[in-house]
Amino acid sequence: MKNGPRLEVPSRRRGSCRADHRPSCWNDVAMAGYRCLLLASTLLITVLLGACGCGSDQRSQPTPLPSAGTIGVTYDGELWLLAVDDSSEHRIRFGSDWAGGAALSPNGRRVVFDTTNGIWTGPSVGGQASPVRGLPPALTRPSFDAGWAPDSRSIVFAGEGGIYRTDSNGKGPAQLLFRDASATEPRWSAAGALIAFVRGRSIRPEDRTIWLMGADGSHPRVLVHGDNPSFSPDGSRLAFSGAEGVYVLRLSGGTPRLLVRHGYQPVWSPHGVYIAYKRQTKNCDDAGCHERVWIVHRLGGTATMLEPEFFESGDLSWTSAAPPEKTVSISQPDQ
């Protein structure tokens, strides 16, 4: 069979625009423009997702751990101190009448804790504790939920009837800042001007509200639904637990940004770069679920897990001070 006539297709060099092939040339230009637009759109979406923290679980590299600092978490009758650089464990033990609550001061030198006969403070390196005096009779056995002032000289706590403030040395009388029996979880801002706290009796964060007020109790106002508030060190943001996990909110306004799903009880690192939080594991039974402490960058990403695994642990605290070199005990004068 003879070959038929061959159809000659004029050749075009990429980027050339000959007058006799102008329609095809403009098609090439349009396609190139479309590809550039598609690439630009993809880059823009990637940048926006990174900025908002959306899809943060998709990043492959875990969050690098900070070089220093100590995370405190109450567990099994002790305050566990986790060195964030190597996850080594140190512990502070309390007396037999310890009621289960404790928090490190911002400078890492003191611990506030509750007992069956009141609130006490003691040195984080171990030693003798001092009672916080000047509490009203109804507060001699308050439900512990305390936060330190940024200068480590005062504490704010939730007691019977509301939110109170007192000197950490126990010399001054307690001052009622906000009267509401459902008010809990008071937390001081780093600048010392604001106190965040939670109202509501539900155990679901979406059914509770976070409030702000002045350090003297002035101008209380509702901020957002959630619980477990934690101020960033520069005072510009608030991390908290919400319906889907840990959120970060700019206090100047805007919409809360979901940082990590399924996390709760966040706390900022002393320098404001990282956020620690807790998350339940799949190790559950009839009594409840185990949990671990995680650290993530404040902008999101893949979180890094710390050891060990806890069960029904308390709130977190984070200071820049190094933990004690060994397990220490804080005793009360009558013990």
pLDDT confidence bin for 146, thresholds 50/70/90: confident
Torsion of CA 133, 136, 140, 142, to 10 degrees: -110
Superfamily per CATH, domain 56-331:
TolB, C-terminal domain (2.120.10.30)
Q: What is the mean pLDDT of the chain?
A: 79
What local confidence, expressed as pLDDT, does residue 40 receive?
A: 52
Distance CA 332, CA 310 (A): 27
| Peptide bond preceding 150 in cis form (omega within 30 of 0) | no
C-alpha to C-alpha distance for 275 and 330, rounded to whole angstroms: 28
Q: How far apart are CA 268 and CA 180, in angstroms?
A: 27
Question: What confidence score (pLDDT) does residue 143 get?
Answer: 57
Tens digit of each residue's pLDDT (9 = 90 or more) over 234-292: 999 999 999 999 999 999 988 999 999 999 999 999 999 999 999 988 877 777 788 99
Mean pLDDT of 66-87: 81
Regarding predicted confidence, which is higher, 177 or 201?
177
CA angle, corner 135, sides to 315 and 146, nearest 5?
10
- On the question of pLDDT at 19 being above 60, the answer is no
Residue at 202: amino acid letter = S
Q: Is the pLDDT of residue 50 over 50?
A: no
pLDDT at residue 61 greater than cutoff 70: no
Give the pLDDT confidence score for residue 139 in this predicted structure.
Answer: 62
With a pLDDT cut of 70, the percent of the chain lying above it is 76
CA 4 to each of CA 7, 77, 185, 216: distance values in angstroms, whole numbers, following the listed order: 9, 94, 88, 97
% the chain with pLDDT above 90: 33
Residue 11: per-residue pLDDT: 39
Least confident of 90-99, 132-141, 221-230, 298-307: 132-141
List the alpha helices (DSSP H) in 240-300.
none
What confidence score (pLDDT) does residue 6 get? 39
